[in-house]
Amino acid sequence: MVTEPPRRRRAFIAVGSNLGDRGATVRGALDALDAAADIEVRRRSSLYTTAAVGGPPGQPAFLNAAAELCTTLEPRALLERLLAIEQRFGRVRSVPNAPRTLDLDLLLYDDAVVDEEGLTVPHPRMHQRRFVTEPLAEIAPDVVHPLLGRTIRQLDDALRQQDAE
């Protein structure tokens, strides 16, 4: 009997850091993902500096990026891997939107829609956050949000227009 190789899926993640050596942390986290046997980092966006949104006042600015992954992991297993890498880079969860060494968010997983305890894909607020749409539009402008039916470029353009008003 011939065993089929695991199916490779395309996923997109957001990466952020606002504590410590932000650039080294973001690059290190993406390198750690790429070093895993079941994940390949296909594309990385540029790094974007953005003000912290929500959370305690006076936080340092974030360094944000997005990446395209190719993986054989299912969404839950990929999320668990992202959380493990956050911990490896010193992430401590306290109050919501608190400063953090590393934040890895699963944004999209192929065109899947997942709504489970602790896992929602597409990320429920990605289309409301320019610090997500801008780097994602750099590497995946024509990818369509499976619930909104709009491309990442269209979502980013809408946020840019809101910011200009």
Structural element, H or E, at residue 87: helix 75-88
Residue pair 150/128 in contact by the 8 Å Cβ criterion: no
Predicted pLDDT of residue 91:
82
* pLDDT grade for 2, boundaries at 50, 70 and 90: low
Let me know if residue 45 belongs to a domain: yes
Our answer to whether residue 38 is catalytic in this structure is no
| Cα–Cα dist 135/21, whole Å | 20
pTM beyond cutoff 0.85: yes
Catalytic pick from 81, 103, 130, 156? 103
Structural domain for 34, as ranges: 9-123
Element (H, E) at 12: strand 9-17
Q: Give the separation between CA 49 and CA 62, rounded to whole angstroms.
A: 6
Count of domains observed in the chain: 1
Q: How much is the pLDDT for 119?
A: 97
140 within some domain: no
Catalytic choice (91, 129, 130, 156) = 91
Answer whether residue 147 is part of any domain. no
Active site residue 21: no
Q: In this structure, is residue 98 part of a structural domain?
A: yes
Residue that the structure tokens 């839950």 belong to: 76
| DSSP run (H or E) holding 63 | strand 62-71
Q: What is the DSSP letter of 123?
A: -
Q: Is position 18 within any domain?
A: yes
Catalytic residue among 22, 81, 100, 129: 100
Q: Is the pLDDT of residue 73 over 90?
A: yes
38, burial (CB in 10 Å: exposed 0-12, middle 13-18, buried 19+): middle
Residue 77 within any structural domain of the chain? yes
Is 110 catalytic? The answer is no
- Assess whether 105 carries a catalytic annotation: yes
Q: Is 145 domain-assigned?
A: no
| Residue pLDDT, tens place only, 20-60 | 999 999 999 999 999 999 999 999 999 999 988 777 788 89
Residue 146 lies in a domain: no
- Active-site residue, selected from the candidate residues 22, 44, 81, 105: 105
The CATH number of residue 39's host domain is 3.30.70.560
Predicted local distance difference test score (pLDDT) of residue 95: 63
- Average pLDDT estimate for 75-81: 97
Lowest mean pLDDT, pick from 49-53, 91-95, 124-128, 136-140: 91-95
Q: Assess whether pLDDT exceeds 80 at residue 159.
A: yes
Cis peptide before 5 (omega within 30 of 0): no
